[in-house]
Structure formats: structure tokens, C-alpha cells
């Protein structure tokens, strides 16, 4: 088993239909065809709370909220509602790595030893290994306090251990967030800037996405609070549990912002060669914050009461995005998103 590159025909295709705007994606759109009507009915039946966005051939087929964003204030979820997207945000870190590679400050073959020599096998682990989570690293011990992004990454580097996989391959693959925390640290070292500054420069100032970091996203009136599934009982995590997710998921987005992020990525608006980030180490299918299967990609994230589900086509023209503020392990909407992407496009979802 070895590296797998994106399908060459797929990788070269660009979006040829209308490009959606932030304004388009902030508006409510009711179900536009029978397949999406069926999804709408199923979301209501399963008591989904959050926001759903469905795009087919670059056109919005559904964009609306379900349930409450804030029970006490009787504020409903809607397309403008922002949710912590957890691990779905790892693509931000991957794109920033691709940016530095294209600037010549990094290589996908750069050894981790150049930046964090204290990490086990750092002389053998490359940036590509971190992007695909094939570094054989995990972090069991988590910090109980937070001082800065760099200190947070240093803590991770000092507390890594073997995950039981085979370094550089997809054999024994497991999902380990520490890979992306180390990538965030590498970014800070090669640029001399904070991770948050790098995200703001590329994704907010240049791409105009409007991504929010913790704690700012909790202060906005568009923020969706998390609730125990099927109840009005609010739930949350400690500040340090948000703060320690440097490079791994301490941001919030709307369904529209998340869609635009992927659309810009797949159309090479953020880096020149997006497919270079998507090279996989089979049999694992993970790279750059996405699980890729042929021409279909999936993103998924969970954090105390929140779940983000994304299934989309290689060119960003077809997508099902579900952001929820009532998640527990017995009430995931991942399979429903996959099911309706397949019904919508005829392509098998991961």
C-alpha cells in the first residue's frame, strides 16, 4: 500500500457553474426538489437542531435552521448562525501548510526534527506524515491550563507517544489531533506569526470568510449554544478545552462560510495546487482535514454538544452540510448527510 493522489481528471476540473456569495448563503432557502424535501422531513423527524445547507451544481437547494440557537432568548438557528466546527477546521491548518510550501518556506518532505526534535522519531516524521496522520504519534495527556498558542503546542510536542501505527503508512491508522497541533507549531516557527494571525490573514482578510476564534464566537449574537439532545439543558466545556485546540478546531463558522471555504479550496483560490495537499497514505483515506474517496470528500467534527458534517464533490459544486448544536453519540447526523448526498448526486458518499 502506498500514497494515493487525487484522480487527475477530477483534480483538473474547475467549477463551471455560478459561484455563490456570502450574501447568497446567508439567506433562507426552503427545499427546492423532492430529494431535499425528503431530507427536510427526515431532519425534522429526527429532531435535528442546527443549520442545513444543500448545494447541487452550484445552486442552493436548501438553506435553513432547525431548533433553537438560544433557548432563553428564543433565538432560532438560521443560515447566519455560527457553530464551533471542531475537527472540520483542520483543513485551515492544512491550507496554511500548503501556502508555506508554495512560498518555499516548507516542503511536504520537511522532517519534524527541524522544528520539534524532542518528539519520538522526529527525524523520520515528515510534514506529509502529519497531514495524513501517519506519523505514529498520539497525545494522551492534555494541558489543564493555557498561556499561549506556542506554549500549547510545546506541551503537545513534549507529551507525544506512539499510537501503534506504522510510521509513513496507513497501516494501523488512527485519528490523532496532535498531528495538526504540531503543524500549527511548525507554521508559527516558519512565519514568526501566531496561528490566529495566519488564519485571519488568509481566510478573513484575503478570502473574506469571517471565521471566528474562541472566545470571540461565544460573544456574537449569531452563536448557537449547545444543548443536551432533545432538551433545553445547556451544556459546555471549560475554556482550556477550547483554547488547547490550536490548529485543530477552536473556531466557529456558518454553513455558508464552511461551504465557501471548500469552494475556494477546490478551485485553487486559496493555494495554487490544492491537489498536492490531498495525497493519501492508503489504506488510510485521510489528508488535509478531509476523508477522500474518489471524487467525494467528507469532513467531520465533534466537540461537547456540537457536530459538523460535510459531504461534497471534488469541485465544491455539490454539498450537504449539517451543523448541529445538539449532539451525542446516539444522535449523530453523519450517516444522514452521507445518505442524502448519494441520493442528491448519485455518487457514493464515504
Question: CA-CA distance, 171 to 157, in Å (whole number)?
Answer: 23
User: What whole-number distance in Å separates Cα of residue 246 and Cα of residue 48?
Assistant: 29
Using DSSP, state whether 203 is helix, strand or coil.
helix
108-111 own/partner pairs: CB under 8 Å, 24+ apart: 108/276, 108/279, 110/186
Give pLDDT, residue 297.
97
Residue 5: its pLDDT value, please? 59
Q: Does the CA dihedral 220-261-182-161 come out positive or negative? A: positive
Query: What pLDDT is stored for residue 11 in this prediction?
Result: 41
Residue 2 confidence (pLDDT): 54
Do the Cβ atoms of 319 and 308 come closer than 8 Å? no
- Say how many CA atoms lie within 13 Å of 266 toward its Cβ: 28
pLDDT at 16: 47
Quick check: helix, strand or coil at residue 151?
A: helix
Residue 55 pairs with which residues in a beta bridge?
60, 319
Cα–Cα dist 270/14, whole Å: 14
pLDDT at 350: 77
Which stretches does DSSP call E strand in 124-221? 137-139, 160-162, 212-213
N residues, the chain: 350
Quick one: how far is CA 70 from the chain centroid? 24
Where do the domains of the chain lie, and which CATH numbers do they carry? 17-88+199-345 (3.40.710.10), 92-191 (no CATH)
Question: How far is CA 55 from each of CA 58, 183, 199, 270, 312, rounded to the nearest angstrom?
Answer: 6, 31, 26, 21, 9
C-beta separation of 90 from 180 below 8 A: yes
Strands of 118-225, DSSP E: 137-139, 160-162, 212-213
**Of the candidates 289, 99, 298, which has an alpha carbon nearest to the alpha carbon of residue 187?**
99
DSSP 211: -
Q: What's the farthest any 2 CA atoms get from each other in the chain?
A: 56
Helix (H, G, I), strand (E, B) or coil at 63: strand
79, β-bridge pairs: none
Q: Is the pTM of this model over 0.85?
A: yes
Per-residue confidence in pLDDT tens, the chain, 350 aa:
456 656 544 444 444 456 899 999 999 999 999 999 999 999 999 999 999 999 999 999 999 999 999 999 999 999 999 999 999 999 999 999 999 999 999 999 999 999 999 999 999 999 999 999 999 999 999 999 999 999 999 999 999 999 988 999 999 999 999 999 999 999 999 999 999 999 999 999 999 999 999 999 999 999 999 999 989 999 999 999 999 999 999 999 999 999 999 999 999 999 999 999 999 999 999 999 999 999 999 999 999 999 999 999 999 999 999 999 999 888 999 999 999 999 999 998 87
Amino acid at each position: 500500500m502506498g500514497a494515493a493522489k487525487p484522480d487527475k481528471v477530477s483534480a483538473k476540473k474547475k467549477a463551471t457553474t455560478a459561484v455563490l456569495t456570502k450574501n447568497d448563503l446567508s439567506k433562507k432557502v426552503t427545499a427546492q426538489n423532492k430529494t431535499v424535501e425528503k431530507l427536510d422531513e427526515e431532519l425534522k423527524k429526527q429532531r435535528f437542531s442546527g443549520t442545513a445547507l444543500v448545494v447541487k451544481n452550484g445552486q442552493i437547494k436548501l438553506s435553513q435552521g432547525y431548533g433553537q440557537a438560544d433557548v432563553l432568548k428564543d433565538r432560532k438557528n438560521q443560515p447566519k448562525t455560527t457553530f464551533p466546527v471542531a475537527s472540520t477546521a483542520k483543513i485551515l491548518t492544512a491550507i496554511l501548510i500548503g501556502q508555506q510550501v508554495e512560498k518555499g518556506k516548507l516542503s511536504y518532505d520537511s522532517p519534524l526534527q527541524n522544528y520539534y526534535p524532542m518528539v519520538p522519531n522526529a527525524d523520520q516524521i515528515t510534514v506529509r506524515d502529519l497531514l495524513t496522520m501517519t506519523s505514529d504519534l498520539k497525545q494522551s495527556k492534555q494541558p489543564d491550563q493555557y498561556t499561549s498558542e506556542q506554549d500549547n503546542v510545546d506541551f503537545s510536542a513534549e507529551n507525544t507517544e506512539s499510537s501503534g501505527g506504522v510510521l509513513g503508512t496507513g497501516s494501523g491508522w488512527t485519528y490523532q489531533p496532535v498531528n495538526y497541533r504540531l503543524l500549527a507549531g511548525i507554521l508559527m516557527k516558519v512565519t514568526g506569526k501566531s496561528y490566529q494571525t495566519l488564519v485571519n490573514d488568509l481566510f478573513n482578510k484575503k478570502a473574506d470568510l469571517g471565521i471566528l476564534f474562541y472566545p470571540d464566537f461565544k460573544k456574537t449574537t449569531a452563536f448557537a449554544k449547545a444543548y443536551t439532545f432533545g432538551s433545553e439543558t445547556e451544556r459546555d466545556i471549560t475554556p482550556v478545552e477550547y483554547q488547547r485546540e490550536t490548529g485543530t478546531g477552536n473556531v466557529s463558522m456558518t454553513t455558508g462560510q464552511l461551504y465557501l471555504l471548500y469552494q475556494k479550496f477546490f478551485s485553487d483560490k486559496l493555494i495554487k495546487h490544492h491537489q498536492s495537499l490531498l495525497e493519501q497514505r492508503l489504506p488510510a483515506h485521510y489528508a488535509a482535514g478531509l476523508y477522500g474517496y474518489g471524487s467525494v470528500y467528507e469532513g467531520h467534527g465533534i466537540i461537547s454538544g456540537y457536530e459538523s458534517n460535510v459531504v461534497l464533490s471534488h469541485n465544491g459544486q455539490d454539498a450537504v452540510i449539517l451543523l448541529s448544536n445538539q449532539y451525542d453519540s446516539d444522535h449523530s447526523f453523519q450517516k444522514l448527510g452521507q445518505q442524502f448526498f448519494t441520493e442528491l448526486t448519485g455518487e457514493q458518499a464515504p
